[in-house]
Amino acid sequence: MRKQFAELPRMSAFKHKPFLKTGDDKDTLADGKRLRVIVLGGNEEVGRNCTLLEYGNDIIIIDMGLQFPDEDMPGVDYIIPNMSYVKGKEKNIRGVIFTHAHLDHIGAVSHIINKIGNPPMFATDLTCGLINKRHSEYQDKPQLNLRSVKSNDVLRLGSFTVEFFGVAHSVPGSMGIVVNTPCGTIVHTGDFKIDDNPGSQSIQETEKIKALGKRKILAMLADSTNASQPGRQLPEHEIQTNIDEIIEHSQGRLIIGTFSSMISRIQQIIFACERHGRKVAIEGFSMKSNIAIAQELGYMKIQKDTLIDSKRIDDYPRDKVAVVCTGAQGEERAALMRIANREHKTLSIEPGDTVVFSSSVIPGNERMVQRVKDTLYREGADVIHYKMMDVHAGGHAKQEDLQELLGWVRPKYLVPIEGHYSFLMEHAKTAERAGFPHDNIFIADNGQILEFDHKGNGQLTNKKVPTEYVFVDGLGVGDTNRIVLRDRKELSGDGIVIVVAVVETQTGALLNLPDIISRGFIYMKDSQELIQSARRYSAKILKDDNPKSAANPTYMKEKLRDDLGEFLYKKTERRPMILPVIVEV
Amino acid sequence: MRKQFAELPRMSAFKHKPFLKTGDDKDTLADGKRLRVIVLGGNEEVGRNCTLLEYGNDIIIIDMGLQFPDEDMPGVDYIIPNMSYVKGKEKNIRGVIFTHAHLDHIGAVSHIINKIGNPPMFATDLTCGLINKRHSEYQDKPQLNLRSVKSNDVLRLGSFTVEFFGVAHSVPGSMGIVVNTPCGTIVHTGDFKIDDNPGSQSIQETEKIKALGKRKILAMLADSTNASQPGRQLPEHEIQTNIDEIIEHSQGRLIIGTFSSMISRIQQIIFACERHGRKVAIEGFSMKSNIAIAQELGYMKIQKDTLIDSKRIDDYPRDKVAVVCTGAQGEERAALMRIANREHKTLSIEPGDTVVFSSSVIPGNERMVQRVKDTLYREGADVIHYKMMDVHAGGHAKQEDLQELLGWVRPKYLVPIEGHYSFLMEHAKTAERAGFPHDNIFIADNGQILEFDHKGNGQLTNKKVPTEYVFVDGLGVGDTNRIVLRDRKELSGDGIVIVVAVVETQTGALLNLPDIISRGFIYMKDSQELIQSARRYSAKILKDDNPKSAANPTYMKEKLRDDLGEFLYKKTERRPMILPVIVEV
């Protein structure tokens, strides 16, 4: 029997958190069918956002994002939400809705689609365009059943009725979701900031959001990404002003490295270049295709003669052109790195050029970013770091914004989502300071089930559905597990030593001096003495075995692993993985 | 013949940098013996600080620090300066001088001592104490020839005369060095900030430093760690005020995680605790021993009844005690982690306690720090992040400080040291803005030789001595090289697949279906089908070989590596290391 629910193994969150309903076994809700809300990913972490709503035989899913692996997950490409909960219930999925076009909200679709049937999916046109573009990179996957919606559309999905409201974020077409359920109305903000006039074809539908406050919203799930930060997020027009200033004061050729998904920021850069008389060359494949999609759908306004091909850039004075490219994270093959290293076909740095890094550095990339910067300094560039163009900067509500939204929507319950546990807690504290009753704030772990009854009461249960990481690794989805990762980490630490011994099957007698092959342990050419003594020591270990009895490879392997490991540790203070290969002939 | 000098492979720094002497082959210096100054480590990077001065047969070395490995150097413990240049010249080393007691200045001593003879070494008493403590952890190393000096001492070391001046930094006993040479006087600042009253038994000898301005200093080598930061560094008394405020407003038990080498910060924390009536428990082995050494030498003033044993902490009200401990970087076994995880014998968190992280997060540690924080939030702690107690925060001169020092010392040449290339350049630009002539600023790569003649002229030559990384890995110093690291990285990415094939020596005929063992590639238990098909495919590869001819293991191995690698990539899009083992019987 598949174990769908697991008791939460550790109850400290309940014991100590005043914000949590006690969650003990007593069930305070009315009998009858209940609405379940389960955050499958995005809590206790940043990334792989995915939330599930279930009532009877109806399920809808909001977002299917990916997360980038930590440094202790070598070889892993992405982490995606764990969809075990819907196994066997695929036919119940009435729809998947995407809030906006960033990878931590859409990136897992192509990896998950085979596991959830092929339900209808809904998003604004730009989000659809970027989902389709990404999906086209994966062969052998079914075509998506993806439909474009507008913010005034209403969807009937089983017992749910879904509405939308436009929100301000760093990509156009971002929406919050309103789900009317038999137990009450749930609001999911997606990623958002508070900004009445975000520009770039984005629209914050303030009146629609405020109108929610009159509809007795049961619960609001809201973005906690910047909940640790006091005050208010910068409005987009100020970000635009800052970008204008940087571009106005740039010397020489201007090169701006940013993310290709930051459609609104790229638009602002292009606006500023147009105002300051710079032509713009776009570099990087994903950058070009994203801009093309956004332009086609009317989400980017670019004057006819603004964009130029980088091949023709030398036709213009250096201070009349700008290059917008990928690579602000020091990615090895991205345009910025190639430009810095003089490996780019048409672009290079001259002294006095200006290079703008438009993002804060993602943990793990510091070394590479510093390396690119140093190279750019050596080439004579002026280097500017402007974090406000970052993925997670500028686009998310800060504490006062969160309080304002709460005042508009006035939900009965608040469920902070999207962020490490500490972010969720800061969100809760922020709400409390604004007078929100702390018993009505649910801080859910990933997978922890929230239930709501028909009387409009909710509780954070102590039941949990599976949310263990699912790794995407090459073509494999979910086949790289903790054991494989543990081995990779062990291998990377001190390498591997393979001992090959040939023994006589009948007697277990060793037929020659065992061979030793190592990789990543020690430089073998310079360590012949150590290798020879390890061979002799291995022979000794194997000869200690009773020569009269038949070979017992399992026992011999274990002995080699332990004793040779100890021998090598004493000699080197390193602990390579020891892999004995016993060949019986 | 040992190749001592290598031409600089890449000349862009010269082509483009207005700050550099052109460094082309024409030698502008007067004939005769010359002073050589070589930064062996600490430029183009942060860490492994080491500078060498040579005149005729006399060498002195300033600092021998270590650097922590980047994330692309798995298994490496430390990086240390490359001392190849002094090979064969060990007897010329008249002395090693340490500026202060931080690991990036003293940490490589125990690993290098065997390679440089055992020259006399000089440092202030606290620095000596901490060097000796560290050295005692390494067995089989010669006793150090280490002598304590005071800032008014004068050393005669061959043709050099060495003086000192006290500087303000985050550890007491920090000194700048003045080296009088036959070609002129060189000043080396060590790590420093400008602060007339640093407290904590530190003394900035301002008058002594200003007096250098009248001595026609030939060149000053100065700390660039914070040269990218405009303005002035916070004075220590303001840092003290900030620490006082944090401690005054802390609720519950106060737990402060910091580095054990931050002697001055720890002193400030203890002062503040005393003022606010908190007893202090010290946790962590290195923390305890460093404090003991500093106390014994009079560098820490602690009231008699301030320190308590953590075993007795429950005898005091929670708001009357503080714990100072290691672990602010999320280190797995450090005290803070154990406290958060309830694994500490005597200490744990209760709701309302305050935890202070006193350092910014070192790249690579973000995940672990966030994990500890989340755990602390779950336990109900208030978590504060105060970066000013950080290793590289608060202790280093910023741009206006650097300009002030230049005005005091008025050297003929400026050599920015200690920092990434971009930091050195920012230092140079800062000096230029203060009117320093840009032709007199030398931005040297590690190992790039600076020469000075008897007429007081200097040049940055285009000759370079070896400075390749030397890795400390377990007991090995320098035996882990780029090939070993490349293998470790390859192993960590997609693991290893070992193919064991037994062939008949005479005919090369395969005697059985090859075995496949993998680690870190795929979870073998769930992948039997793939493994079986890989075995069959390997057999096919090996059988294609001409069965009439004798076995050619080299050829067979190469074929297996290529063809099986391609086979597995097609099936999985992973590229494990393929290691063929051909056993001939």
DSSP string covering A215-276: S--SEEEEE-TTTTS-S-PPPHHHHHHHHHHHHHT--SSEEEE--TT-HHHHHHHHHHHHHT
Instruction: Count CB-CB contacts under 10 A for residue B203.
Output: 20
- Please, which residues 387-426 of chain A have a Cβ atom closer than 8 Å to chain B? 420-422, 425
Nearest to B228 by CA among B451, B414, B423: B423
How high is the pLDDT of residue A169?
93
How high is the pLDDT of residue A25?
54
Nearest to A113 by CA among A142, A84, A134, A138: A142
- Judge whether A234 and A193 are in contact, CB under 8 Å: no
Tell me the per-residue pLDDT of B394-450, one tens digit each, with 9 for 90 and over. 889 999 999 999 999 999 999 999 999 999 999 999 999 999 999 999 999 999 999
- Judge whether A417 and A388 are in contact, CB under 8 Å: no
**B492 and A495 in contact by Cβ < 8 A?**
no
User: In angstroms, how far is the first alpha carbon of chain B from the final one?
Assistant: 44
**A506: burial class by Cβ within 10 Å (0-12, 13-18, 19+)?**
exposed
- Please, which residues 256-275 of chain A have a Cβ atom closer than 8 Å to chain B? none
Residue B543 banded pLDDT, cuts 50, 70, 90: confident
Mean pLDDT is lowest, of A78-87, A498-507, B388-397, for B388-397
How high is the pLDDT of residue B469?
95
Residue A10 banded pLDDT, cuts 50, 70, 90: very low
Mutate to test the interface with A, among B423, B496, B499 (most CBs of A within 10 A): B496
In the residue annotation, A223 being an active-site residue is answered as yes
Mean pLDDT is lowest, of B42-46, B146-150, B217-221, B404-408, for B42-46
How high is the pLDDT of residue B71?
80
Tell me the per-residue pLDDT of A525-577, one tens digit each, with 9 for 90 and over. 889 999 999 999 999 988 865 656 666 778 889 999 999 999 999 999 999 99
Chain B residues whose beta carbon lies within 8 Å of the beta carbon of residue A420: 370, 373-374
Mean pLDDT value across residues A6-20: 37
Chain B residues whose beta carbon lies within 8 Å of the beta carbon of residue A494: 75, 474, 488
How high is the pLDDT of residue B391?
56
- How many angstroms separate the CA atoms of B266 and A516, rounded? 50
Catalytic residue, chosen from A169, A396, A401, A473, is A396
- CB burial string B361-397: b at 16+ within 10 A, e below: bbbbbbebbbbbbbbbbbbbbbbebbebbbbbbbbbb
Q: Is the pLDDT of residue A7 over 90?
A: no
How high is the pLDDT of residue A139?
79
Tell me the per-residue pLDDT of A385-399, one tens digit each, with 9 for 90 and over. 876 565 556 889 999
**B583 and A579 in contact by Cβ < 8 A?**
no
Chain B residues whose beta carbon lies within 8 Å of the beta carbon of residue A422: 370, 373-374, 377, 383
Q: Is the Cβ of B478 closer than 8 Å to some Cβ of chain A?
A: no
Chain B residues whose beta carbon lies within 8 Å of the beta carbon of residue A520: 75, 484-485, 487-488, 490-491
A163 CA: distance to closest CA in chain B (Å): 34
Q: Is the pLDDT of residue A308 over 90?
A: yes
How high is the pLDDT of residue B221?
98
Question: What's the farthest any 2 CA atoms get from each other in chain B?
Answer: 90
What is the pTM (predicted TM-score) of this model? 0.88
How high is the pLDDT of residue B484?
94
Instruction: Count CB-CB contacts under 10 A for residue B276.
Output: 16
How high is the pLDDT of residue A546?
60
Chain B residues whose beta carbon lies within 8 Å of the beta carbon of residue A378: 12-13, 16-17, 421
Mean pLDDT value across residues B308-324: 95
Mean pLDDT value across residues B172-185: 97
**A374 and B517 in contact by Cβ < 8 A?**
no
Q: Is the pLDDT of residue B548 over 70?
A: no
How high is the pLDDT of residue A201?
75
Q: Is the Cβ of A505 closer than 8 Å to some Cβ of chain B?
A: no
- How many angstroms separate the CA atoms of B388 and B71, rounded? 25
- How many angstroms separate the CA atoms of A524 and B379, rounded? 49
Residue in chain B closest to A519 (alpha carbons) equals: B487
**B17 and A479 in contact by Cβ < 8 A?**
no
Q: Is the pLDDT of residue A23 over 70?
A: no
- Residue B45 C-beta-side C-alpha neighbours within 13 Å: 24
| Mean model confidence pLDDT for chain B | 90
- CB burial string B223-248: b at 16+ within 10 A, e below: bbbbbbbeebbbbbeebbebbbebbe
Give the strand pairing for B448-452 and B413-417.
Answer: unpaired
Mean pLDDT value across residues B55-66: 97
Kind plus residue range of the DSSP H or E element containing A35 = strand A35-41
CA A29 to chain centre: 35
Q: Is the Cβ of B207 closer than 8 Å to some Cβ of chain A?
A: no
Tell me the per-residue pLDDT of A364-379, one tens digit each, with 9 for 90 and over. 788 888 999 999 999 9
Nearest by CB to A492, which of B70, B75, B517?
A: B75
- Judge whether A103 and A65 are in contact, CB under 8 Å: yes
- Judge whether B421 and B223 are in contact, CB under 8 Å: no
- Please, which residues 427-446 of chain B have a Cβ atom closer than 8 Å to chain A? none
**B367 and A474 in contact by Cβ < 8 A?**
no
In B196-336 the beta strands, taken as DSSP E runs, fall at 219-223, 254-257, 279-283, 307-308, 321-325
Please provide residue A73's backbone torsions phi and psi, each rounded to the nearest 5 degrees. Answer: -130, 60
- How many angstroms separate the CA atoms of B573 and A177, rounded? 37
How high is the pLDDT of residue A220?
98
Tell me the per-residue pLDDT of A230-286, one tens digit each, with 9 for 90 and over. 999 989 888 888 889 989 989 899 999 988 888 988 999 999 999 999 999 999 989
**B517 and A420 in contact by Cβ < 8 A?**
no
**B491 and A527 in contact by Cβ < 8 A?**
no
CB pairs under 8 A between A and B: 199
**A579 and B473 in contact by Cβ < 8 A?**
no
Instruction: Count CB-CB contacts under 10 A for residue B147.
Output: 13
A107 CA: distance to closest CA in chain B (Å): 19
Residue B19 banded pLDDT, cuts 50, 70, 90: very low
**A574 and B476 in contact by Cβ < 8 A?**
yes
Paired strand residues for A54: A36, A59
Q: Is the pLDDT of residue A15 over 70?
A: no
Mutate to test the interface with B, among A70, A488, A569 (most CBs of B within 10 A): A488
Percent of chain B past pLDDT 90, that is, above it, reads 72
In B219-370 the beta strands, taken as DSSP E runs, fall at 219-223, 254-257, 279-283, 307-308, 321-325, 354-357
Mean pLDDT value across residues A284-309: 94
Residue in chain A closest to B575 (alpha carbons) equals: A474
Catalytic residue, chosen from A223, A353, A453, A473, is A223
> What's the Rg (C-alpha) of chain A?
29
Nearest by CB to B475, which of A378, A502, A572?
A: A572
A34 CA: distance to closest CA in chain B (Å): 28
Q: Is the Cβ of A468 closer than 8 Å to some Cβ of chain B?
A: no
How high is the pLDDT of residue B550?
64
Total residues found in chain A within this entry = 585
In the residue annotation, A385 being an active-site residue is answered as no
Q: Is the pLDDT of residue A188 over 70?
A: yes
Q: Is the Cβ of A561 closer than 8 Å to some Cβ of chain B?
A: no
- How many angstroms separate the CA atoms of A484 and A477, rounded? 13
Instruction: Count CB-CB contacts under 10 A for residue A330.
Output: 22
Residue B341 banded pLDDT, cuts 50, 70, 90: very high
